[in-house]
Amino acid sequence: MHRLLLLFGWCLLLQSSLFAQSNYWQQEVHYTIDVNLNDKDHTLDGMLKLQYINHSPDTLHFIWFHIWPNAYKNDRTAFSDQLLENGRKDFYFSDKEQRGYIN
């Protein structure tokens, strides 16, 4: 009888904790990417259209976007500094044509 009461208590506790959790939500993002390759100049020209749908219960006042390719723009970026700190000098001394970035 004692085990039955203990089992019932655990089930009741588990059930109440499940109802206390907030609803699960997932963000929704739709991308449309249009890119042209210029193999003569070794460049890409493109446009990105992004639709972000916030399903969270919170209002988003802004969204951060990290433009990672701009780390390759020149030898005065945090990326370049990090490579130098790690003993990598190839990027720092590379030609401008060997680097990429978004303009």
Q: For residue 73, tell me if it sits in a domain.
A: yes
Domain limits at 55?
Answer: 2-98
CA dihedral 9, 15, 16, 19 (to 10 degrees): 180
Compute the distance between CA of residue 98 and CA of residue 85 in angstroms, rounded to an integer.
21
- Residue 18 in this model has a pLDDT that exceeds 60: no
The answer to whether residue 67 is domain-embedded is yes
Higher pLDDT, 103 or 94: 94
Query: Is residue 59 domain-resident?
Result: yes
Tell me the pLDDT tens digit for each residue of 35-80. Answer: 999 999 888 899 999 999 999 989 999 998 877 788 888 999 999 9
Does 32 reside within a domain?
A: yes
For residue 103, tell me if it sits in a domain: no
* Total number of domains in the chain: 1
Q: What is the pTM of this model?
A: 0.50
